[in-house]
Amino acid sequence: MTQKNNTFSTSKVAIQSWLRPALTPVLMNRDYEVFRADLEKISEDLQGSGIEEQAIEYALENLGSGSDSQKQRNAEFAPIALRMELLRHLLGTPSFRSFSRSLASSDLLADFCRVRMLDGIRWTSKSTLERASKFFNSEQVAQLNEKLCEIVCDQDLSKQVDLKQAVDASICLVDSTCLEANIHFPVDWVLLRDVSLTLLKAIELIRSEDLLNRMPKSSKKLITKLNRLCIEMTHTRRKVDAKKQRKKILRRLKSLMASVARHAQRHRDLLEAKQPQTRWSPQQAARIIERIDQKLQQVPKVIKQAHERIIGERPVASKDKILSVHESDIHVLVRGKSGKEVEFGNALFISESAEGFILDYQLYQDAPPSEIKKLRESLERLESLDLKQSIDGVVADRGFSSEVMSSELEKASIKDFICPRNIDKLKERLEDPEFRDLQKRRGSTEARIAIIKNKIGANRCRAKGFNNRNLAVAWGVLSHNLWWIARKIRDQEDQRVKMAA
C-alpha cells in the first residue's frame, strides 16, 4: 500500500509529490501514537497555513536569477529543508551527526521530512542536514513565525489549523533570559592558549601540504610546550608565592605566543603565494587565511588584557573585555541566580499569550537594553502585526517595573500587571484577584523559556556566531508554536471524547 501527498504549486513552479510506502505499524505504544499524531498535525498545518508554500517562495528568492532546473531543484528542496529543521528542533538534537542517524533509521521521521520513497530513504547525510539548516535566513523564519501568529490569532483564519477558538493575544506575559554561548569560562591566560592553539593548528594544516617555512620546533612540539605552560599556570594557585609564579609563567606564555604569531604570519604568506600547489581550492585556502588573520588581530588584544589583569593587577572595563576568541558577539549578563551569578551569551526576550503561544521574541546581538526598552520594542513589533485583537494587558516580573513604563502603558490603554518593586505596593496589588492570578500564571513563562532553550540545544546554544544563534532561536520558536497547535488539537479531541462518553 502506498500513500500520495497532495500536489501543490506556487506562482512560479509546480511541485508534484511522490509516492511513498505506508509506515511500519507500531503496536501498543501510546507515546509513539501521540508523537505520530503530532507530526501528522504539524505536517497538515505546514500545508494548510501556507507556510510550506511561503518557504518555497523564499527558496526562489534566495536563488535569484537561475535556470528553470535550478529553480525546480530549490523549490523541491525547500519543503524538505523546512521540515528537517523543524524536526531537528522538535527533537532537541542540535548535532547533525546524531540527527542524521535518527532520521535515517526511522520511517516516521523520514516520512515527515519527505525523504522516504519507494526505493528507500535518501538525503539524510549530515552535510545535507547542514545545508538545510542554512537554506533560510533568520528574517525569513521570523516572517514564517509572524504568519503563523496572525493565523492563530484570527478567529476565521485559525480554522486553517483546526483551532476552535483563536489564540487570545490580549494578554502578553513577557520575560527575558540569557541564551548562553557554548564557550568555556573566560579566564584571561586561557585566551592566550586558545589563540595560540588555533594558529598552531593552522600552521600544521599548511605544512601538511609541503608548504614549509623554517621553524625551530615542529608545531606539535610547540603545542606540547603550550600545554605544559598551561598546566603550570593551573597549579600555581596552590603555591605560597602564587601571584609571583603566575606573572612569571604569563611572561613565558606571552613570549611563546609572539613566536607562534610570527610563524603563523610566514606560513599564511606562503599559502597565499603558493595556493595553486596545494590540493585546496581558492575558497578553501582563503578560509584558512581568513582564520589566521582573525587570530593574528586578536594577539595584541588578549596579551594586553592578560597583562593588565594578572601582571598589572588592574581591572578591565566590561565593554573592553574579551570573553571568547571564537565568539565576539557575547556579553556578560549579571543574573544573580543561585550558583550562577553571571552568564555569558546573548539576551533573549520572549512574549507569550496566556495559553502559552509565543507571540514575539528577540535575541540581542549588542549589549542588551533595559527591560523597559525590551518591552517597549516588543509592543511595537506586536502592533505592526495584523492581529485582530489589541493588547489589553502586560504581565512581567519586577525587573520591568518603572513609573515610566506604567505611564506609557496607561497612555496606550494597556493594563499594567507588572509586579511592582515596592513591597507595600505589591501587597496592595495582590488584593486584586486578576493581578494575583496573572502573577501566578507568570511562573509558567520560566518553563516556556526552558522549553525553547531545550529545542535550541539544552542549556547552551551550540550554534557558532550570532547569526546562527539567532536563526536557531527562530527555528526553536516556530517548532514550539507548531507543536503547541498540535497539542491543542489533541486536547480538543480528548475533550470531545470525554463529552461524548
What confidence category does residue 339 fall into, taking pLDDT thresholds of 50, 70 and 90? confident
What confidence category does residue 3 fall into, taking pLDDT thresholds of 50, 70 and 90? very low
In degrees and rounded to multiples of 5, residue 105 shows phi and psi of -100, 5
Lookup: cell for 439: 502573577
Find all residues with CB under 8 Å of 100, minimum gap 6, and list them.
124, 125, 126, 129
Q: Are 327 and 162 in contact (CB under 8 A)?
A: no
User: Residues 14, 99: one domain?
Assistant: yes
Helix (H) or strand (E) segment spanning residue 120: strand 120-121
What torsion, rounded to 10 degrees, do the Cα atoms 383, 388, 391, 392 define? 150
> 287, 320, 353 — which closes off a domain?
320
> What are the pLDDT digits (tens) for 327-337?
989 999 887 77
User: Residues 279, 413: one domain?
Assistant: no
Q: Are 26 and 32 in contact (CB under 8 A)?
A: yes
| pLDDT at 335 (0 to 100) | 77
Q: What is the DSSP letter of 49?
A: T
> What are the pLDDT digits (tens) for 159-188?
999 998 999 999 999 999 999 888 988 899
> What are the pLDDT digits (tens) for 120-131?
899 999 999 999
Distance in Å from the first CA to the final CA of the chain? 34
Distance from CA of residue 44 to its chain's centroid? 25
> 76, 108, 136 — which closes off a domain?
136
Residue 153 has pLDDT above 60, yes or no: yes
> What's the half-sphere exposure (Cβ side, CA atoms, 13 Å) at 89?
29
> 320, 346, 378 — which closes off a domain?
320
User: Residues 344, 421: one domain?
Assistant: yes
Whole domain around residue 436: which residue ranges?
A: 141-183+329-500
Residue count of the chain, please give it. Answer: 501
Mean pLDDT (the chain) is: 90
- Which amino acid is present at 302? V
Residue 6 has pLDDT above 50, yes or no: no
Q: Are 59 and 135 in contact (CB under 8 A)?
A: yes
User: Residues 204, 122: one domain?
Assistant: no
Query: What is the Cα–Cα distance from 135 to 88, expressed in whole angstroms?
Result: 14
User: Residues 63, 166: one domain?
Assistant: no
Query: What is the Cα–Cα distance from 363 to 357, expressed in whole angstroms?
Result: 18
> What are the pLDDT digits (tens) for 262-282?
999 999 999 999 999 999 999
Query: What is the Cα–Cα distance from 351 to 362, expressed in whole angstroms?
Result: 9
In degrees and rounded to multiples of 5, residue 4 shows phi and psi of -130, 130
User: Residues 176, 201: one domain?
Assistant: no
User: Residues 174, 238: one domain?
Assistant: no
User: Residues 336, 458: one domain?
Assistant: yes
The domain that holds 160 is classified in CATH as: 3.30.420.10
Other CB atoms within a 10 A radius of the CB of residue 500 amount to 6
Query: What is the Cα–Cα distance from 482 to 83, expressed in whole angstroms?
Result: 11
Average pLDDT over residues 84-99: 90
- Rounded to 5°, the CA angle 189-192-194 comes to 115
DSSP state string for 194-232:
HHHHHHHHHHHHHHTTT-----SS-HHHHHHHHHHHHHH
User: Residues 295, 218: one domain?
Assistant: yes
> What are the pLDDT digits (tens) for 373-430?
999 999 999 999 988 888 999 999 999 999 999 999 999 999 999 999 999 999 999 9
Residue with cell 501498543: 28
Question: Coil, strand or helix: which one is 3?
Answer: strand
Query: What is the Cα–Cα distance from 431 to 450, expressed in whole angstroms?
Result: 30
User: Residues 311, 376: one domain?
Assistant: no
User: Residues 345, 494: one domain?
Assistant: yes
| pLDDT at 353 (0 to 100) | 95
Find all residues with CB under 8 Å of 449, minimum gap 6, and list them.
175, 177, 348, 350
Number of domains in the chain: 3
Question: Coil, strand or helix: which one is 11?
Answer: coil
Q: In angstroms, what is the C-alpha Rg of the chain?
A: 27
Average pLDDT over residues 127-151: 95
What confidence category does residue 12 fall into, taking pLDDT thresholds of 50, 70 and 90? low
| pLDDT at 8 (0 to 100) | 47
| pLDDT at 19 (0 to 100) | 74
DSSP state string for 311-351:
IS-----GGG----SS--S-EEEEEEETTEEEEEEEEEEEE
Spell out where 220-322 has E strands: none
- Rounded to 5°, the CA angle 393-368-302 comes to 165
| pLDDT at 459 (0 to 100) | 62
What torsion, rounded to 10 degrees, do the Cα atoms 184, 301, 341, 174 define? -90
Question: Coil, strand or helix: which one is 165?
Answer: coil
| pLDDT at 7 (0 to 100) | 47
User: Residues 102, 202: one domain?
Assistant: no
- Whether this model's pTM surpasses 0.85: yes
Q: Are 344 and 181 in contact (CB under 8 A)?
A: yes
